[in-house]
Amino acid sequence: MRQKLSIVTLGVSDLNRSRNFYQNGLGWAPSSASQDSIIFFDLGGVGLALFPVDELAKDAAVSSERAGFPGITLAHNVKSAEEVDRVIQKAEQAGAKITKKAQKVFWGGYSGYFADPDGYLWEVAWNPFIEFDEKDALIFP
Amino acid sequence: MRQKLSIVTLGVSDLNRSRNFYQNGLGWAPSSASQDSIIFFDLGGVGLALFPVDELAKDAAVSSERAGFPGITLAHNVKSAEEVDRVIQKAEQAGAKITKKAQKVFWGGYSGYFADPDGYLWEVAWNPFIEFDEKDALIFP
């Protein structure tokens, strides 16, 4: 199995609300591959898809019942502590709930978390020990 | 906010079990950035991290209680229906539960789903309408 992630799909309870949050709130441009029933964003070689949660569970042939912590978080790494503050502020203005205010963290960086309309958690982080390539992808040693 | 995903973190209940599944079961090489408390895999510019679920919830300042469907799925796109079959078989041999056998799907492709040791769902998919770049990343129109 190649070591590759292609798409992360968020099962959402209101597709229009979620599209509005990511497109108008965070300012992301949907891919033209988007349809009425599914929205795609190109997050730099990996896709983010928004798809109704009931249909997603059905597609995976599992029950759609869910409660509490999804168990999965998404991280958006930036290049300075100031950029963390700006992004967290932008997300809050877009209606996100800030679950953890941006702060210095034990591993030596600076980060905060916001929850999207369905409670999916994004960490916005500056890690002084990590480098980016020319396409802003993290370089993993 | 730049349109970028840096890391997907799976909150796992047994770090050794999960590391074994991804490293020895699926055959993925951990990044040397991995530590005793967190394992990283470079999935092509985006990282997959394995981290204890209680600590992940604490880091995000949310309750770690979770039940049922995570609401998020991960997709691994491949280049043929046969490759879908091979990857699903490999995952099953690694101890994954196959929630949906590989099959033709309504959108014109071929896919199946497996669940990792914590129930996190991976779709293995061949989509005849999608192209890859030279680094095997999907090209989003």
d(CA B100, CA A107): 39
- With respect to residue B35, please indicate whether it lies within any of the assigned structural domains: yes
Query: By percentage, how much of chain B surpasses pLDDT 90?
Result: 84
Identify the CA nearest to A22 among candidates B46, B5, B10: B5
- With respect to residue A87, please indicate whether it lies within any of the assigned structural domains: yes
Q: Is residue B24's pLDDT more than 80? A: yes
- With respect to residue A67, please indicate whether it lies within any of the assigned structural domains: no
Q: Is residue A141's pLDDT more than 80? A: no
Determine the pLDDT at residue A38.
95
Return the H-helix or E-strand segment holding A54.
helix A53-60
3-state secondary structure of A118: coil
Domain coverage including residue A114: 73-139
Q: Are residues A92 and A133 in the same domain?
A: yes
Q: What is residue B85's DSSP assignment?
A: H
Average pLDDT over residues B32-54: 93
Question: Per-residue pLDDT tens for B52-104?
Answer: 999 999 999 999 999 889 999 999 999 999 999 999 999 999 999 999 999 99
Q: Are residues A88 and A126 in the same domain?
A: yes
Average pLDDT over residues B18-37: 94
Determine the pLDDT at residue B95.
93
pLDDT band at A118 (very low <50, low <70, confident <90, very high): very high
- With respect to residue B1, please indicate whether it lies within any of the assigned structural domains: no
Q: Is B73 exposed, middle or buried (0-12, 13-18, 19+ CB in 10 A)?
A: buried
d(CA B57, CA B49): 14
Q: Which long-range contacts (CB under 8 A, 24 or more apart) does A15-21 make?
A: A15/A39, A15/A50, A15/A51, A15/A52, A17/A117, A18/A50, A18/A116, A18/A117, A18/A118, A19/A50, A21/A94, A21/A95, A21/A96, A21/A116, A21/A117
Q: Are residues B53 and B25 in the same domain?
A: yes
Question: Is A46 within 8 Å of A5 (Cβ atoms)?
Answer: yes
**For all residues of chain A together, what is the average pLDDT?**
93
3-state secondary structure of A23: helix
Q: Are residues B52 and B77 in the same domain?
A: no
- As a dihedral over the C-alpha atoms of residue A108, residue A109, residue A110, residue A112, rounded to 10 degrees, the angle is -100
- With respect to residue A51, please indicate whether it lies within any of the assigned structural domains: yes
Q: Are residues B79 and B41 in the same domain?
A: no
Q: Are residues B54 and B79 in the same domain?
A: no
Determine the pLDDT at residue A117.
92
Q: Is residue A109's pLDDT more than 80? A: yes
Q: Are residues B42 and B81 in the same domain?
A: no
Query: What are B56's two structure tokens?
Result: 């992940």
Question: Is A1 within 8 Å of B112 (Cβ atoms)?
Answer: no
Q: Is residue B141's pLDDT more than 80? A: no
d(CA A13, CA B69): 13
Question: Is A60 within 8 Å of B119 (Cβ atoms)?
Answer: no
pLDDT band at B135 (very low <50, low <70, confident <90, very high): confident
- With respect to residue A123, please indicate whether it lies within any of the assigned structural domains: yes
- The residue with tokens 């959108």 is B107
Determine the pLDDT at residue B85.
98
Determine the pLDDT at residue B126.
96
**For all residues of chain B together, what is the average pLDDT?**
93
Strand partners, A104: A110
Query: By percentage, how much of chain A surpasses pLDDT 70?
Result: 100
Question: Per-residue pLDDT tens for A28-80?
Answer: 999 998 999 999 999 988 999 999 999 999 999 999 999 899 999 999 999 99
Residue in A45, A57, A138 closest to B47 by CB: A138
Q: Are residues B93 and B41 in the same domain?
A: no
Residues of B in contact with A60 (CB under 8 A): 73, 99-100, 113, 121, 123
Contact A113 B8 (CB under 8 A): no
Determine the pLDDT at residue B6.
94
Average pLDDT over residues A14-30: 95
Return the H-helix or E-strand segment holding B56.
helix B53-60
Q: Are residues B81 and B121 in the same domain?
A: yes
Using left for φ > 0, alpha for ψ between -120 and 50, and beta otherwise, residue B13 falls in alpha
ipTM for the predicted complex: 0.91
* Domain containing residue B98: CATH number: 3.10.180.10
- Indicate the number of domains in chain A: 2
| pTM above threshold 0.90 | yes
Nearest chain B alpha carbon to A115: B60
- With respect to residue A24, please indicate whether it lies within any of the assigned structural domains: yes
Q: Is residue B15's pLDDT more than 80? A: yes
Strand partners, A138: A132
Average pLDDT over residues B125-134: 90
Contact B46 A137 (CB under 8 A): yes
- With respect to residue A81, please indicate whether it lies within any of the assigned structural domains: yes
Residues of B in contact with A41 (CB under 8 A): 3
Strand partners, A76: A124
Query: What are B67's two structure tokens?
Result: 């039940």
Determine the pLDDT at residue B28.
95
Average pLDDT over residues A102-130: 94
Q: Is residue A82's pLDDT more than 80? A: yes
Structure-model confidence comparison of residues B38 and A140, the more confident one: B38
Contact A77 B7 (CB under 8 A): yes
